[in-house]
Amino acid sequence: MSREDQILDAAEALIVHYGYDKTRVSEIAAEAGVSKGAIYLHFQSKQALMDGLLVRAMERYGEAWLEAVEADPRGGTIGGMYRNVLKAVKNSPLIEAMMSQDPRVLGSYLHAPDGLLRRAQMRSMRAEFIAEMQAVGCVRDDVSPAVVAHVMDMLGYGLLGAGEMKPREQIPPMEKTLELIGELLDARLTPPEAQSDAGKAVLRRVMSEGQDMMRELARSPDEAEER
């Protein structure tokens, strides 16, 4: 394991448990078994460290999502992608916190104007992705890509935040919920003649471009931050 991954592992464990604001760089250094100075050799600031952590988490999440989609015969439809994306999200507490905008975990980083999370949101391509799915015949062409994207966001945030709104024992198994949502999305949005492989090809390209974008944003200079 590289020293950078060692630092990122320590940072992820502490930030997921205690939150970004309550985690100090010195504590990350102690958890990683390195000096505080060694951390600053890899990351200019605590915010830059969080940026690097999100890039790595997004890459791992993207790989897990694509693997699940590829294994699913209907993974190239909107319903299939939705069903599999949330399975991948549930395996990454940091990605779950990012997608649900969890203030306990993300703290002040959530609203940092120069943070990777905010910059990535400003360049989101969700509606454009739906339009590309329409172009290959995997989404009905009589629906608005922006509205479909918004509905999918609402469904995602609702699923991830359900535990805050009702007792856990009243929430059905996630797999059953995802299966039903996937079926409903396909029933209303996917044309009968849609080819799953065409949708998978769009997803592969968009995911690759998205990961390149995240790396590019992470390389952008950070504003000075008090250490």
DSSP states of 203-223 as a string?
Answer: HHHHHHHHHHHHHHHHTSPPP
Confidence of residue 225 (pLDDT cuts 50, 70, 90): very low
Fold for the domain defined by 1-43: Arc Repressor Mutant, subunit A (1.10.10)
Please give the pLDDT value at position 223.
Answer: 40
Band of residue 226 on the pLDDT scale cut at 50, 70, 90 = very low
Output the pLDDT for position 166: 79
What is the rounded average pLDDT of the residues 203-216?
82
Which is higher by pLDDT, 198 or 179?
198
Distance CA 225, CA 181 (A): 43
Q: How high is the pLDDT of residue 224?
A: 35
Burial class (CB in 10 A: 0-12, 13-18, 19+), 130: buried
Mean pLDDT of 193-206: 94
Mean pLDDT of all residues belonging to the chain = 86
pLDDT surpassing 60 at residue 62: yes
Which position has the higher pLDDT, 188 or 173?
Answer: 188
8 — pLDDT class (breaks 50, 70, 90)? very high
Q: How confident is the model at residue 201 (pLDDT cuts 50, 70, 90)?
A: very high
**pLDDT band for position 143 (50/70/90)?**
very high
Whose structure tokens read 């629906």? Answer: 143
CA distance 65 to 180: 19
In this prediction, residue 71 carries a pLDDT of: 94
Q: For residue 211, what are the CA distances in angstroms to 22, 60, 208? A: 28, 10, 5
Q: What is the pLDDT of residues 72-87, one digit of tens each?
A: 999 999 999 988 887 7
Prediction pTM value: 0.77
> 80 near 196, Cβ under 8 Å?
yes
Q: Output the pLDDT for position 218.
A: 67
Taking the CA atoms of 97, 91, 58 and 202 in sequence, report the sign of the dihedral they define. negative
For helices 78-90 and 145-161, angle between their N-to-C axes, nearest 10 degrees = 30
Is the predicted pLDDT of residue 147 greater than 60, yes or no? yes
pLDDT at 120: 65
Terminal CA-to-CA distance of the chain, rounded, Å? 26
- DSSP symbol at 164: G
Structure tokens at 29: 């250094």
Q: How far apart are CA 36 and CA 26, in angstroms?
A: 6
Among 27-31, 97-101, 107-111, 214-218, where is mean pLDDT lowest?
Answer: 214-218
Amino acid in the structure at residue 6: Q
In a 13 Å sphere around the CA of 115, the CA atoms on its Cβ side amount to 20
Q: Mean pLDDT across the stretch 16-25?
A: 96
Q: Where are the domains of the chain?
A: 1-43, 57-218
